[in-house]
Amino acid sequence: MKTLNIELEGMNCGGCVNKILSHFENGNGISETKVSLEGQKVTIVGNDDVSNMRVRNDLIELGFSVKSIKKA
């Protein structure tokens, strides 16, 4: 399992939080997603084969800017 800590820009309401949570809740190999609206952060826990690039691209497609992705 690996944990990704992601900093975003463009997340400004509960709808944004729900959009991210619903997108990743059935995500291939992703077991947990936490979103902090105030901190503009997303934490994703998943299998080791979850691609940082896939997560980044998914967030961009959802309309957010990804500032950084760090493996915990």
Instruction: Tell me what percent of the chain is helix, strand and coil, each rounded to the nearest 5.
Output: 30, 40, 30
Return the SS3 of 2: strand
Cα separation of 46 and 63, whole Å?
Answer: 22
> Where are the domains positioned within the chain?
2-71
Could you tell me the fold of the domain covering 2-71?
Answer: Alpha-Beta Plaits (3.30.70)
Is 67 a residue whose pLDDT tops 90?
A: yes
Q: Which two tokens stand for residue 65?
A: 């800017």
Please report which helix (H) or strand (E) contains residue 46, including its range.
strand 41-46
pTM, to two decimals: 0.92
Q: What band does 25 get if pLDDT is binned at 50, 70 and 90?
A: confident
